[in-house]
Chain A
Amino acid sequence: MSDQLTTTRRYFLGQCTGISLGAMAAGGLFNDAAQAVPVRNEHGGLLPLPHHEPKAKRVIYLTQSGGPSQIELYDHKPDMHKWAGDDLPEEIRQGQRLTTMTAGKAQLVMPSHAKFKQWGESGATVSEWIPHIGSIADDLCFIKSMHSEYINHAPAMTFMMTGSQIPGRPSIGAWGSYGLGSPNRDLPDYVVLVSKMQRPSDQPLYNYYWGNGFLPSRYQGVKFRNASEPVLYLEDPDGLPREMRRKLLDGIGRLNSLKSRQSGDPEIEARTKQFEMAYRMQASVPELTDLSDEPEEIFELYGPDSRRPGSYAANCILARRLAERGVRFTQLFHPDWDHHSRLSTWCVARCRDTDQATAALIIDLKRRGLLKDTLVVWGGEFGRGVAGQGNWNTPSAGRDHHPRCFTYWMAGGGVKAGYTHGATDDFSYNVAEGHVHVHDLQATILHLLGINHEQLTYRYQGRDFRLTDVHGNVVKEIIS
């Protein structure tokens, strides 16, 4: 017990000073929630978490990187064709900033390239390009009034993930894992899955999008690679079978414990534990990522692409497996939504990658009774503008970035189903009602996890940082 107290005390001091976070990891990367949370609470210091009864125990964040077009996918504007090819009215545009790609060019209204349809009892309008998502509209909670401050990819995505446009702050998943830990001791608290694409993406996915920032590195998202080795350095070297690895670890354990008696440093036992956890991970990660035990009907549900490891669809199945194993925060990234041109073929291609599997994930979670306490979030870093980029009247046209309004949706853990929050003006250019700023979205996600976003803070360089900076309001309207 005395060891544990010391550990906890040092741990807790570490939060204040940022120094010597080593001992804290005695509890392991994979905190046993049943153990860790009371210990933290007992000292009353860091956080009495959860701050309130959580509605969601875990999050699956389906990040669509590049800025999917709300005008083609969700934000139906049936009257827009009336203004097709007209200059965007100045009272709408209000001199807003453009990227240097379209600044100084005429802003001519380009109606949606996609047709829309009403779905389900809620009658939500969803694009015909994503019929599967349309078919589950009654399970979704749309936020049509999202807005951001940044118009370029990296700053906007950094902002969406970390609450600041400058890289270096902890990501939302890292905050969640820092605050809540995870009930699974053999898998990371925060797992990141990036779709394997053939085409080099124009917007790289930086690992600081799921980084720990100034939080201890155990809270960073662990990216599972689409390689034979899903986690870096996971595989034992050729010529060293697992039973020999076991013997070497036994040797490490025995020698370390001799040393521990001599030096009295609790860090030594902690180190041995990390090696043991590494050993367990070598088994648990391949078991997780091997989809061969999934029945045929699952692949049929998630669509043909789900048979291809590394695809977005296969990652959706993995996300469900992670949810089943209690992993706190799973984040998928699907790149290449940056459709400056050729919307009708390019955007359609990304819809095809994602539509069926996204819907299947919701259906699958629901069937297994997991949807009620799993929060699924869909969205990108910003939306796209109403003006055509290139010749608006040709199929070559695309759209420029647009942070002033875009659509997100959520499903499951604690949000209203078949509900739409907020609206944009006739041009899908400005938010007309129910503003939801990026910090509001972040505050809401944390709220659903039982976290008060104003109270989850970390002292760094003389300041108490939090995900939502000094902003953010929980969007109460969408909570069930």
Chain B
Amino acid sequence: MRIFLSLLAVTTLTAPNLSAAPEVSFSKEVLPILAENCFQCHGPDENTREANLRLDINEDAIRMRDGYQVISPGNTAKSELINRIISDDESIKMPPADFDKHLTKEEILILQNWIANGARFEQHWSFEQITKPELPQNTKKTQRWIRNEIDAFVGRKLESERIKPSSEATAATLARRLSLDITGLPPSPAAVEDFIGQYTPSDPDDKTYLNYVDALLASPHYGERMAMFWLDAARYSDTDGYQSDSTRSNWPWKDWVINAFNSNMPYDQFTIEQFAGDLLPDATAEQKLATCFHRNHMANGEGGRHPEESRIEYVIDRVNTTGTVWLGVTLGCCQCHSHKYDPISHQSYYEMFSFFNSIDEDGKAGGGAKPFLNYKPTTVAPHITSAQKLVDQRLEAERSEYKLAEKRFESWLTATIDSLTEDYQTWQVFKPSSTNSTFGTKLTLANNGTISTDDKNPHHEDFQLTGKTELSRITGIKIEVPPAEQNSHGAFSRSESGHFILTDVKLRVVSTATSTVRDIRFAQAIADHQADRGKYNGYGLVAHILDDDPRNGWASFDSDIKTTRTAVLALETPLVLSPEESIYIELQQRSLQGSHNLGTFRILLTDRVGKAVSSLEKGPLQRLTESSPKSIEQIDANLRNDLLQQFLIDDIAYQQVKQPLSQAQAQLNEFKSAAGGKRVMILSERSEPRPSHILLRGVWDAKGDTVGTAVPPVLGSLSKDSPKNRLGLAQWLVNRKNPLTSRVTTNHIWRLIMGKGLVRTAEDFGVQGELPTHPQLLDWLAADLMENNWDLKQLIRKIVTSATYRQTSDLGVDRHNLRTIDPENRLLARAERYRMPAWMIRDSVLQASHLLDTTIGGPPVRPYQPTGVWADITMGRFKYTPSQGNAQFRRTVYTFWRRSAAPAFLFDNAKRRVCQVKTPITNTPLQALTLMNDLTYLEASRVLAQNAISASKMPYEQIEFIYQHLLSRDPDPAELRIVQSQLHELETYYHSNPDQARRYLQHGQPETVPDFARKSDGNELQQASTLAALSSITSMIMNLDETITRE
């Protein structure tokens, strides 16, 4: 398979040259073969080297050995290398049979030609310094196509392959492509219309196009788009990762990144500040902030972890990240041994390591992850204003509903007073129809519901009670443990002390209709007495009966043994039973001490909420009965308020406005606290530098020789006037002589804009990586980038204004063969067509529906996710509450990133555990489910449909409106027909099922739901049905391949 690849590179890309002359390129043809098949045992790694032979070094390969040479320059027949490769003798054949590598005839021919021509060794191409190549000569025909230098190189290649470039994409496609590539957002229909109206491909000064590009580059959304790439590479997260996964407040660094891209900070400065902003003379707070880049690695706060082991891991992460992002070299291999393919040694790795080894850190995580910068962010104010506005708005809704609710309360109260029976009790005794125990205790149920045990009193025991209740619902359970004669000291239990321990309580629903049971969750538990758990092996607190952990529980130690002990457990949500269902309660005593079983106990149930289940006092309703008022006016003010609060909890209409208000208030507080000073993790040097060692096999405490600070010799050395620290390292990275940084960076940008890199292995420019598809073009652009003072916007402008960029991605009938000739688009004879990243799809629909909050920068927000995604993964440690109001509609780059539970809607995104500059694009049913059912898309489709209806009454114009916003074009007649016929079917359905329509319109923020969707009279139902049909059709169009594709 791998052989096939190198073959492909050779035949497809260079075959014409090859047939013209047997001259072969060492770095492009020979080296890949040697690397792939030989270096594992005859390469740079001394530990796996066999036969004392290196094939990566000229001197060693050609030296005389016992009368023969492995390579005899100019003489194929005398070269043992060739003899071994072509030998039939299994005992001497190379590569050996068990190595599972085989050379093709073509590969052997390349090696033979190379040796015949003198076996010249050269440097691997990417380690050679960059010189700006001359522009190639092009044919007249190509010259007419060329718009800038890029096209000269691409055109030259196409000439040699006798392939025509594709025609230019339509103006609408270009307008959309440019906008997505540069800002990550689709253009507005107005911008597309303007562009189409003015753009003429043959316009000599290309004014319209250039202006359009410049406007996009000047948009602040450009910085957000670029930051999304940078955050993935920087493995940015808002939490530490690993076990504790504590929250960090490093997001001001994210603002720094967005701002740096927007202000077009030169990439050399961008590099230097992130590596060593703190070491610059008179470093500003922002320059120090920039160094957070190298603190974005995971941090391990697991108990029992050795902090030094963690610290070493962080340093290693920095080295590897530097390797991948700037150098395009996988340094990670050298952590344990010398590189098998690239000339970078184990020692070199730890010399790089040394640059990052004296940070003033100690391997701790969370609040202990020093060094920190106290930084006051400046981007929070607009979010506070917006959050405040939302609170005010929701408060108003809550106040007016409160008044209505009060009226409902009064009529309820009047009715209740009239119907009160004298013996009303908040709590009803539960009389189980069956009782059981695990270890044989016999239970006896008395008339008053009290259950007594026999004298067995086993070490551990569970009591199981099953039965029904007359209550229409259950909201809480009360456990009473009365003192009784039968127990030791006449107290609660037959244990020696007479005290009990209850380790866990379970509530389930069983049914005669199914074999499965339902677990019912409690919200909280309170009790009239709790023992000091420090004194009693961890047993004391009543809350611990809810955690399914036998190591703790509720205990009565040190309480008055003459008084009944009481605990009240509130259910999370009221439980309503169907006729075939019963409740099942299990009381467990599985304590360490053992034998502290309940001796006598009673269970009571209630259907009341509020104080009834959150205090041990008598419930408000029972107090009301006891005070037996004749009219509302006679009710005591406190009691009346308790009754009102209880009523409101159950009042659905009120809760529908109250809960959004509480969430908005919580959000406001969160933003206000974000505006204060934040501790951002940064770099700073400790006063006493740490010595650096080679770590044997990469093991943190297996220290080998001490090493100094240096860059890998094959890549050059720090300049003499550079300091030997992070600043010097950064200066070296962006030095003109560095062969890699500019090439790698150019390739990153090319990939972001064009879809695939000139070097397809963006993370590997080493010997095992792929060769550039257009080596001269890469070098020309890389040199140009440096000449232009590392101006990234200029590089992007250069790329997007080329004719190469403007080609269509369509492979219609006439271009069909291109897919066969060049399936991977290595010749660039067309534009790339690929599914947009998940974040871009989300941002696009928010933009298309005008929901997008366009504020730049600020604290992290939480887009919709299915309920329980955090709680699921973290076993309930973290709960996710979606942001409210405008904060819900911020760009994805502002999404709070929890490392242990990355955003569920971001399929295919980098996971941000380690640096990743490229993620494969895949296509799975899980993605289809996300796009169909994620709340973001449902809400956006409804809002876009509403906007369409406001814009026009004509269905076909509404469909056009939706197409223009989602696809930046009008539907063609065939499409229109399909959409209209689907719309018709949906309308028919919703008009006959208006209730479904109303339900379909409730998704999302209360503010985006139209009023008519909440009401139910004729005209409004009609409106709701129409909107539901168009919303579902909009969601269909959102799910089209073209909508989520960059063409």
- Chain A residues with a Cβ under 8 A of chain B: 2, 6, 9-10, 12-22, 24-25, 28-30, 45-46, 99-101, 151-154, 166-168, 194, 196-208, 211, 216-218, 222-223, 225-227, 229, 231-241, 243-245, 247-248, 250-252, 254-256, 258-260, 262-265, 267-268, 270-272, 274-275, 277-278, 281-282, 291-292, 294, 296, 299, 307-310, 314, 335, 341-342, 344-346, 348-349, 395-396, 400-401, 454-455, 459, 461-464
Determine whether the beta carbon of B982 is less than 8 Å from that of A197: no
Chain B, Cβ-Cβ closest to A237:
B938
> Does B517 sit within 8 A of A, measured CB to CB?
yes
Determine if B925 and A335 form an interchain contact, defined as CB atoms under 8 angstroms apart. no
Q: Is B305 an interface residue (CB 8 A)?
A: yes
Known: A218-B924, A239-B996. A100 touches B873 (CB 8 A): no
Report B-chain residues with C-beta under 8 Å of the C-beta of A461: 324, 330, 332, 761, 763-764
Q: Find B920's partner among A19, A247, A395 (CB 8 Å cutoff).
A: A19
Contacts known (A21-B922, A205-B873, A239-B999); A307 close to B933, Cβ less than 8 A:
no
Given A29-B926, A208-B913, is A197 in contact with B986 using a C-beta cutoff of 8 Å? Answer: no
Given contacts A6-B819, A99-B305, A461-B763, contact A217 B907 (CB under 8 A): yes
Contact mask B844-882 → A, CB, 8 Å, 1/0? 000000000000000000000011110011111100000
The interface bits of chain B over 1-45 (1 if a CB of A lies within 8 angstroms of the residue's CB, else 0) are: 110110010000000000000000000000000000000000000
- Could you mark each residue 567-609 of chain B with 1 if its beta carbon is under 8 Å from any beta carbon of chain A, else 0? 0000000000000000000000011100000000000000000
Minimum CB–CB distance from A454 to chain B (whole Å) comes to 8
Q: Smallest CB–CB gap between B459 and chain A, Å?
A: 10
Partner of A167, one of B592, B914, B1047: B914
| B2 in contact with A16 (CB, 8 Å) | yes
Secondary structure at chain B's binding surface: helix, strand, loop or mixed?
loop
Partner of A22, one of B875, B922, B999: B922
Chain B 950-980 per-residue mask, 1 if CB under 8 angstroms from chain A, else 0: 0000000000000000000000001100110
B760 proximal to A (CB < 8 A):
yes
Q: Are A281 and B998 in contact (CB under 8 A)?
A: no
Stretch at the interface among B59-67, B792-800, B807-815: B807-815
Contacts of B100 in A (CB 8 A): 454-455
Known contacts A225-B868, A238-B1000, A462-B341: does B1041 contact A20 (CB below 8 Å)? no
Question: Do A237 and B1003 touch (CB < 8 A)?
Answer: yes
Q: Does B219 contact A (CB under 8 A)?
A: no
B243 in the interface, Cβ–Cβ < 8 Å? yes
On chain B, the residues within 8 Å of A278 by CB distance are: 925-926, 928-929, 932
Query: Contacts A17-B770, A256-B1040 given: A346-B922 contact, CB under 8 Å?
Result: no
Query: Which chain B residues border A239 with CB–CB below 8 Å?
Result: 996-1002, 1028
Q: Is A233 a contact of B934 with CB atoms below 8 Å? A: yes
Q: List the A side residues contacting B904 at CB < 8 Å.
A: 232-233
Cβ–Cβ contact A258 & B975, under 8 A = yes
In the bound complex, what is the Cα–Cα distance between A239 and B986 (angstroms)?
12
Contact A274 B516 (CB under 8 A): no
Known contacts A45-B4, A208-B913, A225-B868; is A25 also within 8 Å of B924 by CB?
yes
Contact among A199, A265, A299, A346 with B547 in the assembled complex (CB-CB below 8 Å): A199
Interface residues on B, range: 35 or more
Q: Which residues of B contact A268 (CB under 8 A)?
A: 1041
Chain A: CB-nearest residue to B972 = A258
A199 CB contacts on chain B under 8 angstroms: 547-549, 875
Hey, which chain B residues are within 8 Å of A254, CB to CB? 978
Does B121 touch A at the CB level, under 8 Å? no
Give the nearest-CB partner of A400 in chain B: B304
Question: B507-518 toward A: CB 8 Å interface, digit per residue (1/0)?
Answer: 010100011111
Q: With A19-B756, A204-B873 known to touch, is A267 a contact of B924 (CB < 8 Å)?
A: no
A-binding residues in B (CB < 8 A): 1-2, 4-5, 8, 100, 242-243, 245, 298, 300, 302-306, 324, 330, 332-333, 341, 508, 510, 514-519, 537, 546-551, 590-592, 756, 760-761, 763-764, 766-770, 809-813, 815-816, 819-820, 823-824, 833-835, 866-869, 872-877, 900-901, 904, 907-908, 911, 913-914, 918, 920-930, 932-934, 938, 974-975, 978-979, 982, 985-986, 989, 996-1003, 1028, 1032-1033, 1035-1037, 1039-1042, 1047
Cβ–Cβ contact A248 & B1032, under 8 A: yes
* Pairs A–B under 8 Å by Cβ, sample size 29: A13-B5, A45-B1, A152-B300, A199-B547, A199-B875, A201-B875, A204-B874, A211-B911, A216-B922, A236-B933, A239-B1000, A255-B978, A259-B1042, A264-B810, A274-B924, A274-B928, A278-B926, A281-B925, A281-B929, A291-B515, A292-B514, A308-B519, A342-B592, A349-B549, A396-B592, A461-B324, A462-B330, A462-B341, A462-B769
Scoring A255, A296, A395 by chain B CB atoms within 10 A of each residue's CB, the highest score goes to A255
Q: Known interface pairs A258-B974, A461-B330. Does A263 touch B810 (Cβ–Cβ under 8 Å)?
A: yes
Cβ–Cβ contact B304 & A308, under 8 A: no
Residues of chain A with a CB closer than 8 A to B305's CB: 99-100, 152
- Minimum Cβ distance to chain A for residue B687 (Å): 26
- CB of A251 within 8 A of CB of B982, answer yes
The 6 closest A-B pairs by CB, nearest first: A239-B1000, A99-B304, A264-B811, A462-B768, A239-B999, A198-B548
| Minimum Cβ distance to chain A for residue B506 (Å) | 8
Instruction: Pick the residue among A208, A291, A292 that contacts B911 (CB under 8 A).
Output: A208
B833 & A232 in contact (Cβ 8 Å cutoff) = no
Docked-complex contact A21 and B1040, CB < 8 angstroms: no
* A21 to B927 CA separation, bound complex (whole angstroms): 14
Closest to B1040 in A: A255
Inter-subunit contact A248/B982 (CB<8 Å) = yes
Query: Are A267 and B1041 closer than 8 Å at their CB atoms?
Result: yes
Cβ–Cβ contact A218 & B922, under 8 A: yes
Question: For residue B820, which residues in chain A have a CB less than 8 angstroms away from its CB?
Answer: 2, 6
Asked whether B996 lies within 8 Å of A25 as measured between CB atoms, the reply is no
**In chain A, what residue has the closest Cβ to B316?**
A166
Instruction: Kindly provide the distance from the CB of A183 to the nearest chain B CB, expressed in whole angstroms.
Output: 17
Instruction: Give the shortest distance, in Å, between A32 (CB) and chain B (any CB).
Output: 14
Are A346 and B550 interface neighbours, CB within 8 A?
Answer: yes
What's the Cα separation between A99 and B591 when bound, in Å? 28
Across-interface contacts of A256 in B (CB, < 8 A)? 1040-1041
Given contacts A152-B304, A237-B938, A239-B998, contact A349 B5 (CB under 8 A): no
Whether A307 and B760, one on each chain, are in contact in the complex, defined by CB atoms closer than 8 angstroms, is: no
Considering the chains assembled together, what is the distance between the CA atoms of A21 and B835 in angstroms? 11
**Which residues in B have their C-beta under 8 angstroms from that of A307?**
510, 515-517
Q: Are A299 and B546 in contact (CB under 8 A)?
A: no
Structural contact, B515 and A233, CB atoms closer than 8 A: no
**Known contacts A154-B243, A247-B986, A299-B515; A267 and B835 CB within 8 A of each other:** yes
Are A204 and B245 within 8 A (Cβ)?
A: yes
Instruction: Judge whether A18 and B928 touch: CB under 8 Å.
Output: no
Give the docked Cα–Cα distance between A19 and B824 (Å): 9
A14 near B1047: Cβ-Cβ < 8 Å: no
Contacts of B516 in A (CB 8 A): 291-292, 299, 307-309, 314
**Are B1040's CB and A259's CB within 8 A?**
yes
Q: Cα distance A260–B100 when bound, in Å? A: 41
Q: Are B1039 and A401 in contact (CB under 8 A)?
A: no
- Indicate if the CB atoms of A204 and B519 lie closer than 8 Å: no
Minimum CB–CB distance from A47 to chain B (whole Å) comes to 9
Contact call B926/A255, Cβ cutoff below 8 A: no
Cα of A234 to Cα of B927 in the assembled complex, Å: 10
Residue of B514, B550, B770, B926 near A222 (CB, 8 A) is: B926
Contact partners of A237 in chain B: CB under 8 A: 933, 938, 1000, 1003
**Of the candidates A20, A101, A211, which one forms a contact with B303 in the assembled complex, judged by CB atoms under 8 Å apart?**
A101
Looking at the assembled complex, report how far the CB atom of B827 sits from the nearest CB atom of chain A, in whole angstroms: 15
Q: How far is the CA of A251 from the CA of B867 in the complex (A)?
A: 30
State whether A168 touches B914 (Cβ < 8 A).
Answer: yes
Q: A251-B978, A265-B811 are in contact. Are A198 and B547 (CB under 8 A)?
A: yes
Whether A349 contacts B1003 in the complex (CB less than 8 A), given A233-B866, A250-B982, comes out as no
Q: A19-B824, A240-B1032, A262-B810 are in contact. List 7 more A-B contacts (CB 8 A).
A: A227-B867, A243-B989, A251-B978, A254-B978, A264-B812, A345-B551, A345-B590
